[in-house]
Amino acid sequence: MKTNQGLTQFEMRSEFLAGNSPYSGKVLRVNLSTGEIWVDEHSDDFFRKWIGGRGLIVYYLLKETAPNIDPLGPDNLLIFAPGILTGTVLPGTGRHAVGGKSPLTGALASGEAGGWWGAECKQAGFDAVVIQGKAEKPVYLWIKNGGAELRDANHLWGLKTGDCQEEIRKELNDEKIRVAQIGPAGENLVRFAAVMHDINRAAGRGGLGALMGSKNLKAVAVRGKFKIGLADKEIMKITQKWITANYKDMMGWAIQYGTSGSVKGNHDGGVTGIRNYQDGSLEGIEKLDATSIFTWLIKDRDTCNRCPVRCKLVAEHLGDVYIDPRYGGPEYESIAGLGPMCQINDPLVVGKANELCAAYGLDTISTGGTVAFTMECVDKGLLNGFEDMPKFGDGQSLLDSIEKIAHREDLGEWMAEGSARMATRIGMESDQMLAVARGQELPYHDPRLKNAIGMGYAVSATGADHMANLNDTFATWDGSDICVRLRELGIETPLKLWGISDHKIEAFFYETAFKNFLDSAVICHFYPYEFHHMVDALNAAGGWNMDMHEIISIGERIINTARMYLLREGFTAEDDMLSARLFQPTKVGPIAGKAMTPEYLKDALQKYYRRMGWFEDGFPTEETLVRLKLINL
Amino acid sequence: MCDENEMSKLSSSNFTESANLILDKPLVAQRMEVEVAAGQRYIEVLKRFITKPGAAYVVLVDGVVVDQNEIIQPGVEIRCVPQIIGG
């Protein structure tokens, strides 16, 4: 395959060029095996049905990939998909999705990232980028103003993300280029490697970085000048004005500390998994909370395209332990996974671990989960013969483990496969210590407290996913944005905290449909938008006449398409389950003695299947597929 | 935030059995510790004190998570922690 041949240029349609449409109608296609570059043209109907983001990802995966392909083989697709609202004037739309068949779970991988890459991709003229095949040698994809080119990346292979981005910007002589890329972890096919954007925003979950590495694709660099327009700018102003007037009050928590402000509260409230989900509390947790780290570790704040909130942290530390501010700062999930999960309360260790994960391109959630699982195996004497094995509470051993995982060295070769594969390799009932769903390490929202979120982990096509889910503790407090949305649908709130009642299943149904819609549009979940705001935003974007029921149907369509993909790949209802540790209550702490049983979860899932219009075996009925216009997909 | 009249209605002097409610930043502007009457639902009392829009909280009674619809028992210590998801 020839590289550095110049941009292959594509013509843009007039409505897009005139700023009257938020989408170009063009999906860029690249075959890395042959070097071919072309576009798929999509109609208005396509965007109304699939919206973009996760919707577009599941459409392409089900339509174009054969069943049971190797996630790390050339036939898998790597899909970068901004949404219909990405890059528009609406705050909270500076996000995009990345997807493919997951190298970690074998199911769907679909992760969303903030920053600037998604908007820049659309400004470059493409609604999505779908990549297939495998390059003979390392390449990167350069997209600019309606054109695309494959370029040699031999000189970039092996670089950490910060250095790679600098090299690409220097080579193309433009400091404003936005780069999606993998670090050494993705190159080495670590099964929970992330795709990094702007070097510190991860599409982290499911091993998309390994998928990118398997294609010998180091980066996708974008730069564009097209304006992302709207069909009706006046309607959009309604939602714009509402959020501008309310975001300071409603998102005060994010403005003040970002998600790091929840570390102590989540710990005290029994949300955070501690010491591989064994303990009820961690001594010294206050040292990791925002109120502590902001005084000496947080240097600045950063933001995403079109976002006034600036919840993103920038950490810096000078001295023996240097923390590079280019890599941002730790969010709640990263702090919880690299801190309490590993019994570590030293913010310098957590900050450094977060930096290493961004530089090497690793998902912090699965890194924390896998290292903590390994620590417990070491603790229980199940692992022997490796150098310097990680130990609970030992910060240096966490940092060493991250290096070893990224390079697949020593015990890192085992850890790079993720905790579920490690348990299979170790045997000796180590699977009883796993905290996973569908083979993916859990985010730090304990399903022994949040039972509905546990059901969401179990049933999600993406494996354990805290975002496209119903958060029990939000649905329990009447003033939360979730309760406001549920009341808009006529659902009585607040919900009871414990258990998965019929009432909660109804709320779960609507909230997961809404969240899957958000991940397709693609909108930040922190924004407290209600259904009617999204109705206005979509109608402004596409010039449509949608109502909230159509938004719910879009969400349902995406969940059902992901479900069909999952079933086609050989998963069954038996796989809709949590791992053993999550049914074992802690002995002390804020949720001592609390946990669902597997039977209780199975019973709740049957109720959910019925609500979704699925059979007892988890397959959608024909009636459901017809209703959602999926019968001919 | 609860005004002074509201506070006095809730104070222990009006009730024979009470519980201790402790709220701290960022839930409220300043740390407050107040006795509240037992026999009410947690959510009814807490909504009078915490009025931040868009937010969610977990209620802890003597360090253990409870459903906000449960009834306040005499002599317990009630705390409340904010919830954030994502990151």
As a three-state string, the secondary structure of A390-431 is: CCCCCHHHHHHHHHHHHHCCCCHHHHCCCHHHHHHHHCCCHH
Mean pLDDT within A234-257: 92
Range scoring the smallest mean pLDDT among A151-165, A313-327, A409-423, A474-488: A474-488
Choose the closest CB to A268 out of B50, B55, B81: B81
Q: Is the peptide bond before A91 cis (omega within 30 degrees of 0)?
A: no
**B4 has a pLDDT exceeding 50:** no
- pLDDT value of position A321: 95
Q: Are A380 and A423 in contact (CB under 8 A)?
A: no
- pLDDT value of position A623: 98
Choose the closest CB to A496 out of B56, B58, B67: B67
pLDDT band at B16; cut points 50, 70, 90: low
Which residues does chain A have within 8 Å of residue B52's beta carbon, measured at their own beta carbons?
249, 252, 479
Q: Are B87 and A334 in contact (CB under 8 A)?
A: yes
- pLDDT value of position B11: 47
Q: How many Cβ pairs closer than 8 A exist between chain A and B?
A: 118
**A168 has a pLDDT exceeding 60:** yes
- pLDDT value of position B3: 46
Which residues does chain B have within 8 Å of residue A262's beta carbon, measured at their own beta carbons?
82-84
Beta carbons of A271 and B68 less than 8 Å apart: no
| Alpha-carbon gap, residue A302 to A376, rounded angstroms | 36
- pLDDT value of position A422: 98
Mean pLDDT score of chain B: 80
Beta carbons of B84 and A481 less than 8 Å apart: no
Beta carbons of B87 and A494 less than 8 Å apart: no
ipTM here: 0.87
CB contact set of A456 (below 8 Å; sequence gap of 6+): A465, A466, A468, A469, A470, A508, A512
Domain range annotation of chain B:
4-83
Between A608 and A479, the higher pLDDT residue: A608
- pLDDT value of position B24: 78
**pLDDT digits over A549-578, tens only?**
999 999 999 999 999 999 999 999 999 999
Beta carbons of B83 and A473 less than 8 Å apart: yes
Beta carbons of B54 and A481 less than 8 Å apart: yes
- pLDDT value of position A434: 98
- Burial (CB count within 10 angstroms: exposed 0-12, middle 13-18, buried 19+), residue A411: buried
**pLDDT digits over A19-46, tens only?**
999 999 999 999 999 999 999 999 999 9
| Alpha-carbon gap, residue A177 to A175, rounded angstroms | 6
| Alpha-carbon gap, residue A342 to A394, rounded angstroms | 8
**pLDDT digits over A442-476, tens only?**
999 999 999 999 999 999 999 999 999 999 999 98
Beta carbons of B79 and A478 less than 8 Å apart: no
What are the tokens at A592?
């001592």
Domains of chain A, with CATH numbers?
8-223 (3.60.9.10), 275-434 (1.10.569.10), 451-526+547-627 (1.10.599.10)
pLDDT band at A83; cut points 50, 70, 90: very high
Beta carbons of B53 and A265 less than 8 Å apart: no
Beta carbons of B65 and A253 less than 8 Å apart: no
**B52 has a pLDDT exceeding 90:** no
**Which residue of chain A is at minimal alpha-carbon distance from B66?**
A497
Choose the closest CB to B83 out of A474, A528, A592: A474
**pLDDT digits over A294-343, tens only?**
988 999 999 999 999 999 999 999 999 999 999 999 999 999 999 999 99
Of the candidates A372, A399, A374, A402, the one whose C-alpha atom is nearest the C-alpha of residue A389 is A374
User: Sign of dihedral through CA atoms A28, A29, A33, A36?
Assistant: negative
- pLDDT value of position B86: 59
| The CATH classification of domain B4-83, taken from the options 3.10.20.90, 3.90.1150.10, 3.30.300.30, 3.40.140.10 | 3.10.20.90
How many angstroms separate the CA of residue A574 from the nearest CA in chain B? 28
| Alpha-carbon gap, residue B70 to B87, rounded angstroms | 31
